[in-house]
């Protein structure tokens, strides 16, 4: 295993990183760093002898977090920040059909299940709407109005969870 990034490399997170129970002083599932944040690699190690773990210092946040290689890209690589995150409520901007069946009408509300970043020029989302899970481009969505009784709980198993000290 050869590391893609070396000491001093600037990198960007492409996934949200949550505490998996190994980051001191925070609750399990607590968001440690948001996708899009830029940091500097200052150590590379292994976990279970088959995963490279980069110790990345995020200067603006004042936090050092262990990151897997697949969670990072070079800081100067093309990057478009996504507008929505897991569990965000959104409205669709057009009718949605599967074959001839109308599954959702313009203005219906759905919930983001995942962010897909295979093509930086067109961010896609897994969206749950009216009993269906579909893939939809960001341009077809808008934020749903905030509700006073919104549930802000988080399922820590849905996004990358990582602690801070891998040495």
pLDDT of residue 156: 43
Nearest to 127 by CA among 91, 156, 154, 158: 91
The 10 Å Cβ neighbour count of residue 15 is 19
Between residues 154 and 31, the one the model is more confident about: 31
Q: What's the CATH code, domain 10-79? A: 2.30.30
Tell me the sheet residues that pair with 143. Answer: 90
CA proximity to 12, closest of 34, 42, 32:
34
Delimit the domains of the chain by residue range: 10-79, 89-143
pLDDT of residue 107: 96
What is the C-alpha separation between 124 and 138, in angstroms, rounded? 6
Alpha carbons 88 and 110: distance in angstroms, whole number: 8
Gap between the Cα atoms of 108 and 97, Å rounded = 13
Res. 12: pLDDT tops 80: yes
Taking 70 as the threshold, does the pLDDT of residue 68 lie above it? yes
Residue range 18-46, pLDDT digits in tens: 888 888 888 998 889 998 999 999 988 87
Q: Does pLDDT of 166 surpass 70? A: no
Residue 159 has pLDDT above 60, yes or no: no
At 8, is the secondary structure helix, strand, or coil?
coil
Same fold, 10-79 and 89-143: yes
Supply the pLDDT for residue 149.
59
Between the alpha carbon of residue 29 and those of residues 12, 19, 21, 36, the distances in Å are: 21, 5, 8, 19
Higher pLDDT, 5 or 166: 5
Strands 124-129 and 132-137 turn out to be antiparallel
pLDDT of residue 137: 92
For residue 119, what pLDDT is reported? Answer: 65
Report helix, strand or coil for 146.
Answer: coil
Residue 64's pLDDT band (cuts 50, 70, 90): very high
One of 1.10.1060, 3.30.565, 2.30.30, 1.10.1200 is the CATH number of 89-143, namely: 2.30.30
Is the predicted pLDDT of residue 152 greater than 60, yes or no?
Answer: no
Residue 142: per-residue pLDDT: 94
Instruction: Give the pLDDT score at 154.
Output: 44
**Per residue in 100-141, pLDDT tens?**
999 999 999 999 998 887 766 778 999 999 999 999 999 999
Q: Which residue has the tokens 């292994």?
A: 46
Name which of 77, 128, 66 is nearest 103 in CA terms: 128
């Amino acid at each position: 295993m050869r590391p893609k990034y070396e000491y001093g490399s600037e990198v960007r997170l492409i996934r949200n990183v949550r505490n998996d129970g190994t980051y001191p002083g925070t609750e399990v599932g607590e968001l440690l760093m948001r996708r899009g944040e830029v940091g500097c690699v200052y150590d590379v190690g292994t976990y279970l002898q088959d995963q490279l773990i980069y110790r990345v210092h995020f200067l603006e946040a004042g936090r050092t977090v262990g990151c897997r290689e697949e969670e990072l890209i070079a800081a100067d690589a093309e990057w478009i920040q996504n507008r929505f995150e897991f569990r965000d409520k959104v409205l669709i901007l057009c009718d949605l059909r599967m074959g001839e069946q109308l599954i959702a009408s313009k203005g219906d509300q759905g919930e983001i299940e995942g962010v897909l970043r295979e093509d930086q020029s067109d961010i896609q989302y897994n969206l749950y709407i009216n009993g269906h899970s579909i893939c939809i481009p960001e341009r077809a969505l808008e934020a749903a109005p905030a509700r006073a009784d919104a549930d802000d709980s988080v399922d820590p198993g849905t996004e990358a969870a990582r602690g801070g000290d891998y040495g």
